[in-house]
């Protein structure tokens, strides 16, 4: 037994060495990302509340203006831009207007305006610039820290990203946001949907990401037109500053040249804006009722003066196929004594019918009007 090797008791564990204390304590990853401690420096980098487009677009913000084609978004934008340059609010040398939605003649005409007021104008396929280069150039300005004070205007937005593609639109807006956070300014002109909303107002085109990621959104709509002049209304849909709620302009429908057309733009006063808003509601309603109005007008011209005959004519699928309730509503809505946006026809007493509809004199020659009135 003495030669048997003795093992230590199994219940005795090997002695552990004390842990070595770390000289540095680990830091939560987000700690080093905090802006606290850098606020003074950030504040010094912030841009003053200066309007690039007076009342509409602020320096350092991301702004989108939606409008239907030919509503005047380019004309009014360039008008406000040159007025800001003339007033000294911004420097023309800091403005880069990218015109990607114009003909050759239009590009040259607007290029002369840019030259006159000292701002730069770019166009795809000229001097090596391509629409696809924009995101790359913006990213470069972010990396190089050269975005501060620079103003980029995109005309129109759909030339630089796919507004119907949620991911692509979101990725573009991410770069645009980083550009403005570095002190840049971006104003984007975009098309509205073909159809209006239930309230009669225009609807922003594309996915909602564009408007959601913007600081400011305006809807630009035509509200009235004469033989020589058009009136439009800017209406704010979103803002993160002291942007104006509404602004209205009138301008000539034609001119000898673009410079003359630009000079025709006039900013309207408050009373005119209020009247313009009422016209906007009326015109939106007229547009929604257009098909039924055409059906009723045609029906009256073809000799259908009784209400029952008019309703039957307008409802006939071989004619206009307007629903019965729609015909009733439109008949009542536009009945009046004098032709205007709210009165297109009148009701006359007649031996054969209590409700006998006749187009107002301006829609019918006076002679024909009197003949119809007299039952001839």
**Structure-model confidence comparison of residues 73 and 6, the more confident one:** 73
Q: Mean of the pLDDT values across residues 223-242?
A: 90
| Tokens standing for residue 224 | 């009235």
pLDDT at 375: 46
CATH 1.10.10 residue spans of the chain: 289-373
| Tokens standing for residue 255 | 């001119």
Cβ of 116: how many Cβ atoms within 10 Å?
13
Among 2.40.50.100, 3.40.50.300, 3.40.50.880, 3.40.50.2300, name the CATH number for the domain at 46-284: 3.40.50.300
For residue 13, pLDDT beyond 60: no
Tell me which residue of 141, 200, 221, 128 sits closest to 176, measured CA to CA.
141
**How far, CA to CA in Å, does 349 sit from each of 13, 265, 338, 355?**
116, 48, 16, 7
Angstrom distance (rounded) from CA 272 to CA 277: 9
CATH 3.40.50.300 residue spans of the chain: 46-284
**How far, CA to CA in Å, does 364 sit from each of 88, 310, 339, 373?**
55, 17, 11, 11
Domain 289-373 has CATH 1.10.10: yes
Q: Mean of the pLDDT values across residues 146-170?
A: 92
Q: Mean of the pLDDT values across residues 45-57?
A: 83
pLDDT at 109: 94
* Cβ pair 165, 206 in contact under 8 A: no
What pLDDT band is residue 285 in, cutting at 50, 70 and 90? confident
Choose the most confident range, by mean pLDDT, from 64-73, 189-198, 275-284.
64-73
For residue 227, pLDDT beyond 50: yes
Counting every residue written for the chain, the total comes to 376
Percent of all residues in the chain with a pLDDT value above 70, rounded to a whole number: 86
**Structure-model confidence comparison of residues 212 and 4, the more confident one:** 212
């Amino acid at each position: 037994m003495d030669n048997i090797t003795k093992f230590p008791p199994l219940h005795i564990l090997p002695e552990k060495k004390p842990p070595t204390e770390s000289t540095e304590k680990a830091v939560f990853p987000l700690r080093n990302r905090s802006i606290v401690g850098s606020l003074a420096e950030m504040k010094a980098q912030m841009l003053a509340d200066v309007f690039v487009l007076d009342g509409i677009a602020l320096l350092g913000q991301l702004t989108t203006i939606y409008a239907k084609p030919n509503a005047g978004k380019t004309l009014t934008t360039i008008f406000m831009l040159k007025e800001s340059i003339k007033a000294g609010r911004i420097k023309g040398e800091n403005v880069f207007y990218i015109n990607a939605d114009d003909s050759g003649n239009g590009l040259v005409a607007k290029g002369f305006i840019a030259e006159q007021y000292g701002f730069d104008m770019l166009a795809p396929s000229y001097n090596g610039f391509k629409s696809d280069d924009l995101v790359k150039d913006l990213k470069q300005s972010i990396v190089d820290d050269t975005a501060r004070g620079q103003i980029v205007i995109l005309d129109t937005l759909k030339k630089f990203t796919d507004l119907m593609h949620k991911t692509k639109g979101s990725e573009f807006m991410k770069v645009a946001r980083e550009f403005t956070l570095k002190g840049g300014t971006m104003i984007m002109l975009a098309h509205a949907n073909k159809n209006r909303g239930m309230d009669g107002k225009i609807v922003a085109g594309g996915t909602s990401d564009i408007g959601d990621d913007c600081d400011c959104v305006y809807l630009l709509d035509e509200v009235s037109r004469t033989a020589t002049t058009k009136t439009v209304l800017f209406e704010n849909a979103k803002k993160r500053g002291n942007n104006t709620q509404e602004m209205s302009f009138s301008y000539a429908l034609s001119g000898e040249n673009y410079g003359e057309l630009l000079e025709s733009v006039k900013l309207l006063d408050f009373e005119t804006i209020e009247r313009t808003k009422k016209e906007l509601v009326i015109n939106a309603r007229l547009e929604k009722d257009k098909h039924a109005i055409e059906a009723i007008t045609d029906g009256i011209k073809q000799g259908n003066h009784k209400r029952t005959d008019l309703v039957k004519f307008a409802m006939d699928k071989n004619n206009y196929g307007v629903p019965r309730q729609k015909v009733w509503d439109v008949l009542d809505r536009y009945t009046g004594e004098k032709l205007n946006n709210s009165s297109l026809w009148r009701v006359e007493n007649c031996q054969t019918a209590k409700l006998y509809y006749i187009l107002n004199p301006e829609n019918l020659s006076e002679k024909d009007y009197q003949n119809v009135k007299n039952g001839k």
